[in-house]
Amino acid sequence: MSDKHLLSRRRVLEYGSGLLAIAMIPAPALAAPTDADAAHQALFGDRTVTEGRVVLKVPPISENGYSVPLSVEVDSPMTEDDHVVRIAIFSEENPLPDVARFELGPRAGKARIDTRIRLGNTQKIRAVAEMNDGALYGTSTFSIVTLAACVL
Partner 1 sequence: MAMTRIAAPAQATAGEIIQLKVLIRHPMETGYRRDLYGKQIPRDILKRFECRYNGETVFAAELFPAVAADPFLTFYTRATESGALEFRWTDQNGNVTSETRQLDVQ
Minimum CB distance to partner 1 smaller for 15 or for 50: 15
- 56: CB partners within 8 A, 6+ apart: 70, 71, 72, 89, 125, 126, 127, 139, 140, 141
Binding of partner 1 at residue 6 (CB under 8 A)? no
Restricting to residues 128-147, name those near partner 1 by CB under 8 A. Answer: none
Binding of partner 1 at residue 124 (CB under 8 A)? no
Q: 46: which DSSP letter?
A: T
Q: Give the Cα separation of 48 and 136 in Å (integer).
A: 7
Minimum CB distance to partner 1 smaller for 6 or for 21: 21
Binding-site member from 54, 58, 99, 136 for partner 1 (CB under 8 A): 99
Which CA distances in Å does 32 have to 35, 44, 58, 96?
A: 5, 19, 20, 9
Closest CA to 126 of 150, 98, 106: 98
Minimum CB distance to partner 1 smaller for 82 or for 103: 103
Minimum CB distance to partner 1 smaller for 32 or for 151: 151
Query: Which residues form the interface with partner 1 (CB under 8 A)?
Result: 15, 18-19, 21-22, 24-25, 28, 66-68, 91, 94-96, 98-105, 107-110, 112-119, 151-152
